[in-house]
Amino acid sequence: MDKIISTAKFLKGEISIPGDKSISHRAVMIGAISDGVTEITGFLKAADPLSTISCFNSLGIEHKFENEKLFIYGKDLKGLRRSATTLDAGNSGTTIRLMSGILAGLNFSTIISGDQYLIKRPMKRIIDPLVKMGADISSTEKFTAPLSIKPVETLNAIDYELPIASAQVKSAVLFAGLYANGTTRVIEHEPSRDHTERMLNLTPEKSSGKSIISITGGMKLEAKQFVVPSDPSSAAFFIVAALIVPNSEIKIINVGMNPTRIGFIKVLKQFGANIILENERTIGGEPLADIIVKSSVLKSNCILNGNLIPNIIDEIPILSIAAANAIGKFEVRDAQDLRNKETDRIAAICFNLRKMGLDVEEYKDGFAFESKKDLLSSGFESFDDHRIAMAFGIGSLALNGQSTIINSECVSISFPSFWKIVNTLQK
């Protein structure tokens, strides 16, 4: 399905964004290996987190949706049972990578795979540390899915220094650490998303500029209640929309303000964005706030690189739209991991920005361009990537004339109600 988008005269209103995808995944996983019934409020009913539920269903875990809540009937660390079929992670890299840490510690064999896009994504980053712990994991020659995980007598605790900041690798190792003998330590040189630590009540230690997260094997997990805040990565699209469409003012309520997730807000404020945080509070260990955004004149002369990139990696597509509607030059470097997402996002961003009429330089680890006034409406390729579809859908609101997002239905991976909210804000 293609989506036709016309120029927006303004965007007004108060909106609620669906639940955080990263936290939704983890709540299901932790609930499945906990003792008792875990209650999740605000779970994101999108394709990726639903893939996580489906995988655990195949492993013998039951769930129930009731009155906007999700209940996971956990069976403790060792209560999962062998699946009769290959686990299907769909399009979800989070599902396959984090679950591999759990599957490595179980006493039966499992095969986990995914769709035609997921089986092209790199898995070596999680295979290497899990094998160091003694896990028996095999993959394709290119270190891609399907992953075959066989039981071992025991997993061994290790100290693992992350080569690059990665919440998925960190989480996979921490989950495997629950099944290992001794205390597993993950050492971070640069911060990455810390939802797993927060949800497992792990307190990082700081030493010589590093963060050390420790977990002890056999630690019993008790069922609990999780409240999932609105996803800041999803909110980013509407924050930028309000900034670039004239005469706009919107309020987004209950958005997660985890410090490892809101680097994009700092970047936009450097651009001169009028963004105000209200009603700041903490629920279930996660900070939240309401966000008020007004149209702004943006100036983008900056280079995004280095330590900032892991914090904004998912928001780079929509930040490129903000920069295209700003004044000045914009450059992204050190973001080569964008090429390993649902699609090659560096190539996808550059392709569509050129369709807008921008001269874009593409690098192995990023891209650069200088904005200009008269951007062109066009047919933009989604590349079946939800973040590319949403970013250029938002960008189309500020273009003159009609634009088309090709295969726009891929937004259902993370944000099924996206196009509906876009329409609502224009009324």
Kind plus residue range of the DSSP H or E element containing 281:
strand 274-283
Say if residue 284's pLDDT is above 90. Answer: no
CA distance linking residue 379 with residue 205, whole number of Å? 49
Tell me the pLDDT of the chain averaged across its residues: 96
pLDDT in tens, 118-172: 999 999 999 999 999 999 999 999 999 999 999 999 999 999 999 988 999 999 9
- Fold designation for 21-227: UDP-n-acetylglucosamine1-carboxyvinyl-transferase; Chain (3.65.10)
CA distance linking residue 206 with residue 326, whole number of Å? 38
Please give the pLDDT value at position 236: 98
* Catalytic residue IDs: 314
Please give the pLDDT value at position 285: 83
- The pTM of the full predicted model, rounded to 2 decimals, is 0.93
- Superfamily for domain range 3-19+229-425: Enolpyruvate transferase domain (3.65.10.10)
Residue range 274-283: mean pLDDT, rounded:
96
> Residue 247 corresponds to which tokens in the numbers above?
């005469």
Tell me the pairing of strands 12-16 and 249-256.
Answer: parallel
Question: Angle at Cα 91 formed by Cα 167 and Cα 360, nearest 5°?
Answer: 75
Q: Are the CB atoms for 339 and 122 separated by under 8 Å?
A: no
Report which of 266, 276, 328 is spatially closest to residue 297, judged by C-alpha positions: 328
CA distance linking residue 229 with residue 250, whole number of Å? 18
Q: Residue ranges of the domains in the chain? A: 3-19+229-425, 21-227
Place of tokens 């973001």: 335
Residue range 267-282: mean pLDDT, rounded:
97
Say if residue 207's pLDDT is above 90. Answer: no
Please give the pLDDT value at position 283: 87
On the question of a common fold for 3-19+229-425 and 21-227, the answer reads yes
Q: Are the CB atoms for 272 and 297 separated by under 8 Å?
A: yes
